[in-house]
Amino acid sequence: MRFFRLFIISALFAGITSAFGQLTFTKDSVSVRAAISSSRTLYVKVCSPSIIRVVYAAGTAIPADTANYIVVKGSWTPVSWNTTETSSIYTITTSALQVNIDKTNGAVSFATAAGTPIVNEVAGSKSSVVHM
């Protein structure tokens, strides 16, 4: 079952990367948006310490239709999470996960809170690497 979940997560963000400039990030109490351009947005929502929703959308509006989500729960109890960044990586950290977003190409990767890789998108391709 874990492999299936990781596969679905991997499929959700496969192909997000492309050639674009440095991403601009905006953080609120439950999510982070990365404006890739005026026509593309990467949205990362912290739902729980172990559930992170990643949405790549055309335009700046995030689709409200959740029919195709694996987890369709709409409201979540707020959890503690932090962000850090270096010149090349923007990191979202919960007590269970790290989500790293490459600032230059938008590639998303997931790791345990201790930094052990779980799944990462291969920059410039439509594939992901699952670490078991």
Domain boundaries, given as residue ranges, for the chain: 2-130
- Gap between the Cα atoms of 87 and 15, Å rounded: 23
85's CB contacts (< 8 A; 6+ apart) are 25, 91, 103
Among 7-11, 48-52, 80-84, 117-121, which stretch is predicted with the lowest mean pLDDT? Answer: 7-11
CB of 73 within 8 A of CB of 66?
Answer: no
Burial group, residue 96, by CB count within 10 angstroms (0-12, 13-18, 19+): middle
Output the six-digit token pair for 12: 């959700």
The answer to whether 43 and 55 have CB atoms below 8 angstroms apart is yes
pLDDT in tens, 74-109: 788 999 999 999 999 999 999 999 999 988 888 899
Q: Between the CA of residue 99 and those of 63, 65, 67, what are the distances in Å?
A: 21, 24, 24
Q: How far is residue 124 CA from its own chain's centroid?
A: 16
Residue 4 pLDDT exceeds 70: no
What's the predicted TM-score (pTM) here? Answer: 0.75
Are the C-beta atoms of 108 and 89 separated by less than 8 Å? no
Q: Any idea which fold 2-130 has?
A: Immunoglobulin-like (2.60.40)
Phi, psi of 97 (to 5 degrees): -135, 160
